[in-house]
Amino acid sequence: MDLETLRHSASHIMADAVKRLYPKVKLGIGPSIEDGFYYDFDLEQSIIPDDLPKIEEKMRQIVKENSEFVRQEMTKNEAIELFRKFGEDYKIELIENINEPKVTVYRHGDFVDLCKGPHVARTGDIKAFKLLSIAGAYWHGIETNPMLQRIYGTAFGNKEDLDKFLELQEEAKKRDHRVLGRKLDLFSFNAQVGAGLVLYHPKGAILRTIIEDYIRREHIKRGYQLVISPHILNSDIWIQSGHYDYYKENMYIFEIEGKEFAVKPMNCPGHILVYKSYKRSYKELPLRFFELGSVYRHEKSGVLHGLLRVRGFTQDDAHIFCLREQAEEEIIKVIDFVSDTLKVFGFNEYSVELSTKPKKYIGTDRDWKEATAALENTLNRKKIPYEINEGDGAFYGPKIDIKLKDALGRQWQCATIQCDFALPERFALFYVDKDGKEKRPIMLHRVILGSIERFIGALIEHYGGNFPLWLAPVQVCIIPITKKQNDYAGKLKEIMEKGEIRVILDARDEKMQKKIRERELEKIPYLAIVGEREAGGDKVSVRSKAKGDLGQMGTKEFLHRLKEEIEKKN
């Protein structure tokens, strides 16, 4: 049975159940989504988690009734009159905005809903379902519209698949980066700072720095040149690039001394201006500019979600200026770069989408066709399976999106590669070719990790906070058994620090077992416990987060073990 159809049918059953329990409710929309379904409700009283079992029980009753799903076609006026009788104002608004003379509704029992369908044959076909959570949602996602109550649920063809999904959901809750970020003291948000703006704590800042240092070194190895662009640019630049017309609602715009500026939502105009700073020769191309560029975008408060959706973030952003005949080879190099990098960070699987021309775009259809072909040819040459995402390209060019898969099989947006003919045209970029004539370069926009914030969120959830040694903010905690070993523990800490190990010393006047338990909860990879015997023999007793008690070993041996594991990055 098709899961999308099954889940959409389940959303109708849930709406019917809510309507039976709360007769004054007004219905919003109820689509199927990737992992289930939801329905939006306008209801005076608040639905709380304790109400979900009651709604589920009513759903089971509707399933037991085994009513037929019946499709009915009617004119818009007939549909408006029907839903006016039910007092369904939101349905009437939806009908009025449909640009077709006729609409369809679906009925089961006494329940009727505006819907294109399809649905399962009968309500009795929906057997394995579960309501999951409640959230608020503005009607049409617009903050000035009424806030509705959204109930999320899921449904599967059988109980076994549902149980597996619920187990993964429970594991996902344990790995939630927002919870672990607080427990591990990595980052926080503060209302005084503003929604969607991250405060990195010392451990989180170390983790971010490790990631940034790695990705910066890798770019330099692969022939990229470092550049840095300002955080604000005159609005004339954004008008020229097209962002002002196509992206203005997501930009922070302000005025200084009678001139308008914008905080950058993208890094590309700055890189374009670096390219344009002097005349370029074909011999310089491909020219690869890289920046760990911080950008700011006005995301609606309702979609902000921990590190995964923020208003201020940093991208490992690069722009490649190249000849047309160089484009495919450069795209291949970027794909290889992405694949190599994901493996280093422990992600071995990813999926790929090719996003095509949107409704609003700049540039010529001919250029869009050539740019899309360059991306498509590259994927075919690499024999990488991909899906077409119609109409989801950037306004200046088509793109390849690469989504990594984590330990729970969930997808996270990561790298993107965009092929752009339009911005080089708008900014009149050129290079002098071998024949002495000025010609237009192609511009490739690309990120490897994407948003560093989102990537850190994915890393936290992928590892459940149990980072491999090379990424761990604190790699070793030294725990002396008694005060008598504090001096030895201090010297050991100095040796490790000189060996570039991130180490802390827990010399608190607490019982050893308590200190061990607390440090294990902090998910520190290694605990080095030192007592009288260790201090007398230049040794440590080692406890590994991954492998348990490793016994006693010499200080030099332990340090060698750490360095070897860090080098392997596993």
**Does 560 participate in catalysis according to the annotation?**
no
Tokens matching residue 335 = 């794909």
Beta pairing partners, 320 = 288, 444
> Which residue out of 319, 357, 462, 523 is catalytically annotated?
319
* Angstrom distances, CA of residue 452 to CA of 198, 226, 307: 12, 17, 9
What is the C-alpha to C-alpha distance for residues 482 and 523, in angstroms, rounded to an integer? 23
> Which residue out of 149, 315, 418, 475 is catalytically annotated?
315
**Does 178 participate in catalysis according to the annotation?**
no
**Does 419 participate in catalysis according to the annotation?**
no
> Which residue out of 7, 58, 203, 297 is catalytically annotated?
297
What angle do helix axes 159-175 and 452-463 make, rounded to 10 degrees?
Answer: 120
> Which residue out of 175, 445, 446, 539 is catalytically annotated?
445
C-alpha neighbours within 13 Å on the C-beta side of residue 331: 33
Comparing CA positions, the residue from 48, 50, 51, 26 lying closest to residue 39 is 26
CB 531 within 8 A of CB 541: yes
Q: What is the layout of strands, in order, in the sheet containing 476-480? A: 503-505, 476-480, 526-530, 539-544, 548-554
The three-point CA angle 305-446-214 to 5° equals: 75
CB proximity list for 283: less than 8 A, separation 6 or greater: none
**What burial class does residue 286 get, using C-beta atoms within 10 Å of its C-beta: 0-12 exposed, 13-18 middle, 19+ buried?**
middle
The 10 Å CB-count burial string (b at 16+, else e) for 216-245 is bebbeebebeebebeeebebebbebbbbbe
What is the C-alpha to C-alpha distance for residues 145 and 143, in angstroms, rounded to an integer? 5
Taken as a whole, the chain contains a residue count of 570
DSSP string, 533-557: HHHHHTEEEEEETTTEEEEEEEHHH
> Which residue out of 113, 316, 317, 506 is catalytically annotated?
317
**Does 221 participate in catalysis according to the annotation?**
no
- Residue 445 identity: H
**Does 514 participate in catalysis according to the annotation?**
no
What is the C-alpha to C-alpha distance for residues 562 and 550, in angstroms, rounded to an integer? 13
What is the C-alpha to C-alpha distance for residues 385 and 351, in angstroms, rounded to an integer? 8
Query: Under DSSP, is residue 135 helix (H, G, I), strand (E, B) or coil?
Result: strand
> Which residue out of 399, 462, 515, 519 is catalytically annotated?
399
Comparing CA positions, the residue from 227, 189, 248, 267 lying closest to residue 453 is 189
Tokens matching residue 15 = 């709406």
320: left (phi over 0), alpha (psi -120 to 50) or beta: beta
Comparing CA positions, the residue from 512, 526, 501 lying closest to residue 479 is 512
Comparing CA positions, the residue from 523, 558, 565 lying closest to residue 542 is 558
**Does 485 participate in catalysis according to the annotation?**
no
**Does 382 participate in catalysis according to the annotation?**
no
> Which residue out of 40, 264, 268, 454 is catalytically annotated?
268
Asked if the bond preceding 286 is cis, omega within 30° of 0, the reply is: yes
What is the C-alpha to C-alpha distance for residues 111 and 27, in angstroms, rounded to an integer? 12
**Count of C-beta atoms within a 10 Å radius of residue 546:** 9
Tokens matching residue 570 = 């596993």
Which residues does the annotation mark as catalytic?
268, 297, 315, 317, 319, 399, 445
